[in-house]
Amino acid sequence: MKALSTRMRVWWVVITIAVLVWSLLPVAAIFATSFKLPSQLDVGTFLPKTWSTTNYEQIFTGSAKDLFLPALRNSIGISLIATAVAVVLATFAAYAIARLDFPGKRLILTTALGVSIFPVISLVTPLFNLWRNIGLYDTWLGLIIPYLSLTLPISIWTLAAFFRQIPWELEQAAQVDGATPWQAFRKAVVPLAAPGVFTTALIAFFIAWNDFVYGISLTSTSRARPVPAALAFFTGASQFEEPTGAISAAAVVVTVPVVILVLLFQRQIVSGLTQGAVKG
């Protein structure tokens, strides 16, 4: 490993700083705004004049808690379930695509691509009518089902790519060594497939977590409204006051877990989204 010249080192420091500023400035900005007092919001500085946690109090214990806390619960629950269902379905599909030779392979992958390009707005009004008629409007299930159209395609692609890289002969080798098919599957395949499944779940969760249009169109109360939709409904002290502080605080609360997940699993995410081309 040749040592880096000072010029290269300086270059890399500059690049790193530039990348950090580009990526983190907006996050830092809303972080700072969330600590500003509502009456000092128009001062126009980056940092708060007085650091205050009043916005956080508002969304956790104050007037906005009935809007924020249920929304948080809805988002977490709906996103997790939609991710789980998508990953389960995609695992079976990807296994079939990677291991078996059947003529539907290309069709399914093309369908996945096709489904992912549908404009969501085109789907909401008919879905609204249907959900209203069968009682799924403003329910968790009423969001989980459309979310599958967001999470399934990318899950299928990513998992298919992962599974294609698994050496399936290991399963046969284990069986030759005397293991039952189930043991072979468990001991040889599962450890290799698990990271891929986990990464896919992570990526699918991000997509479900991010949804906005379904959230604002297919819900109307705190029973099922997810956080991005709820952010658009936040209120200030009166119906005319801009709830900048409360929105910023809520935004930070839903961003912190994301940043932590990215921090912990950046290697897996990169591997997953580059279809395994980049591993470590």
Rounded-to-integer distance, Cα 229 and Cα 218, Å: 10
Q: Is 183 in the site for other proteins (CB under 8 A)?
A: no
Among 166, 170, 192, 270, binds other proteins (CB under 8 A): 270
Residue placing its CB nearer to other proteins in the complex, 121 or 194: 121
Residue 132: CB minimum distance to other proteins, A: 4
Residues 184-203 that bind other proteins (CB under 8 A): none
Which positions ≥6 away from 41 have C-beta within 8 Å?
Answer: 33, 242, 244, 245
Which positions ≥6 away from 84 have C-beta within 8 Å?
Answer: 201
Residue 219: CB minimum distance to other proteins, A: 9
Token pair of 102 as six digits = 């059947």
Question: For the chain, what percentages of helix, strand and coil (3-state, to nearest 5) are there?
Answer: 75, 0, 25
Q: Burial letters for 32-45: b for 16+ Cβ neighbours within 10 Å, e otherwise?
A: bbbbbebeeeeeee
Residue 250: CB minimum distance to other proteins, A: 9
Residues 145-174 that bind other proteins (CB under 8 A): 145-146, 148-149, 152-153, 156-157, 160-161, 164, 172
Of 190, 193, 159, 164, nearest to 273 by C-alpha is: 159
Residues 117-146 that bind other proteins (CB under 8 A): 117-130, 132-133, 135-137, 139-141, 144-146
Residue placing its CB nearer to other proteins in the complex, 95 or 198: 95
Q: Is 3 in the site for other proteins (CB under 8 A)?
A: no
Residue placing its CB nearer to other proteins in the complex, 57 or 149: 149
Residue 63: CB minimum distance to other proteins, A: 6
Cβ-contact 151, 89 below 8 angstroms: no
Among 57, 60, 69, 95, binds other proteins (CB under 8 A): 95
Residue 195: CB minimum distance to other proteins, A: 17
Residues 22-51 that bind other proteins (CB under 8 A): 22-24, 26-27, 29-30, 33, 37, 39-42, 44-46
Residue placing its CB nearer to other proteins in the complex, 19 or 194: 19
Identity of residue 200: T
Q: What are phi and psi of 167, to 5 degrees?
A: -75, 105
Rounded-to-integer distance, Cα 214 and Cα 222, Å: 14
User: Rounded to the nearest 5 degrees, what angle is found at the Cα of 273, between the Cα atoms of 271 and 274?
Assistant: 65
Token pair of 253 as six digits = 């609360």
Rounded-to-integer distance, Cα 98 and Cα 276, Å: 14
Q: Is 115 in the site for other proteins (CB under 8 A)?
A: yes
Residues 55-74 that bind other proteins (CB under 8 A): 63, 66-67
Beta-carbon neighbour count of residue 58 at 10 Å? 22
Among 171, 196, 244, 249, binds other proteins (CB under 8 A): 244
Q: Total number of residues binding other proteins (CB under 8 A)?
A: 134
Q: Is 208 in the site for other proteins (CB under 8 A)?
A: no
Cβ-contact 210, 195 below 8 angstroms: no
Residue placing its CB nearer to other proteins in the complex, 23 or 191: 23
Among 69, 166, 179, 261, binds other proteins (CB under 8 A): 261
